[in-house]
Amino acid sequence: MTHTPTPWTIESRTHNGCGYTIQSPSSHYSRCNVASYVGKSNAEFITHACNNHKPLLEALELLIDNISPETWEALPQYVQEQVMEVFNVAKAEAHNV
C-alpha cells in the first residue's frame, strides 16, 4: 500500500463551509475532506506535515550517514538515542504507508 502523492494542497472549503478539502495532485486517486471540526490552521498543518515528511526523513538520513564518528560520539548519549529513535520510527512509518 502506498500513500497518496504529494504535494497536498488545501483546495477549498467543504460544501457545508465548516471544513477544508485537502487535495492530492492526482485528483482521481484521492481527495480528503477534513472533518468539519478541523479549522484551516489544522488543514494547513496536515498538508505541511505530509509534504515535508519525506524531505525531513531524507535530510536526517543524510546527516546520520555522513556525520563523522568523532562528532557523533561527542553528542550526549540522550541526543544520539533521540535522533536514532525518531529516525527509526519515521523510517518504519514511511515503509508502512
Per-residue pLDDT of the chain (97 residues; tens, 9 = 90+): 567 778 888 876 666 666 777 777 765 555 555 554 567 788 888 889 889 988 988 998 899 899 999 999 999 999 999 999 988 888 887 666 5
Cell numbers 518504519 label which residue? Answer: 92
Q: What is the phi/psi pair of residue 23, to 5°?
A: -115, 135
Residue 1 belongs to a domain: no
Residue 4 belongs to a domain: no
Q: Residue 67 has what pLDDT?
A: 92
Q: Residue 34 has what pLDDT?
A: 56
Where helices occur in 1-97 by DSSP H, the ranges are 40-66, 69-74, 77-96
Contact between 77 and 47 (Cβ < 8 Å): no
pTM, full prediction: 0.64
Domain count, the chain: 1
Q: Residue 85 has what pLDDT?
A: 92
Q: Residue 28 has what pLDDT?
A: 53
Residue 71 structural domain: 9-96
Residue 51 belongs to a domain: yes
Residue 2 belongs to a domain: no
Residue 3 belongs to a domain: no
